Amino acid sequence: MKIDEQTLIQAALRARENAYAPYSGFRVGAALLAQDGTVYTGCNVECASFSVTNCAERTALFKAVSEGERHFTALAVVGGKDDTPQAEITPCGVCRQALYEFCGGDLIVLMAQDEAHFTRCTLAELLPAGFGPKELV
């Protein structure tokens, strides 16, 4: 990783400020680090038709992929209710699968409260025996 973990978490915290979560009040920010050192950020975007909601992690991933990026090394995610302290949250199942498509199991995932308090794991730990592109060749 060309930037440190604290910097990636700070980017996720900043992205969380843009969260659009009027229905759940649960605001999430994510920062995805590409192999070349570029950071792509995202927040959750809710809709009155609830199922249309997009998680922060997929916002960051789809922004990156739509910019032509394909290789990633780390993801930081932060989240919590508006009026309570942030807790460490793990990416939802749909986001784990979407991340697996491009990042594989080696992606480092930082689940953070803030720069000083976070848990580090790999995507393979969050999605063991994942089904991915290799299965279709």
Calculate the alpha carbon distances from 56 to 2, 23, 45, 129 in Å.
22, 15, 7, 24
**Catalytic choice (5, 46, 57, 115):** 57
Binding string, residues 25-44; x marks residues near ligand THU by CB under 6 A: -x-x---------------x
Sign of CA dihedral 130, 29, 39, 51: positive
Q: Around Cβ 130, how many Cβ atoms within 10 Å? A: 17
Residue 57 designated active-site? yes
Binding string, residues 91-110; x marks residues near ligand THU by CB under 6 A: xx--x---------------
Q: Which of 12, 32, 57, 76 binds ligand THU (CB under 6 A)?
A: 57
Region for residue 37 given its phi and psi (left: phi exceeds 0; alpha: psi -120 to 50; beta: otherwise)? left
Chain positions contacting ligand THU, by CB under 6 A? 21, 24, 26, 28, 44, 46, 53, 55-57, 91-92, 95
- Residues labelled catalytic: 57
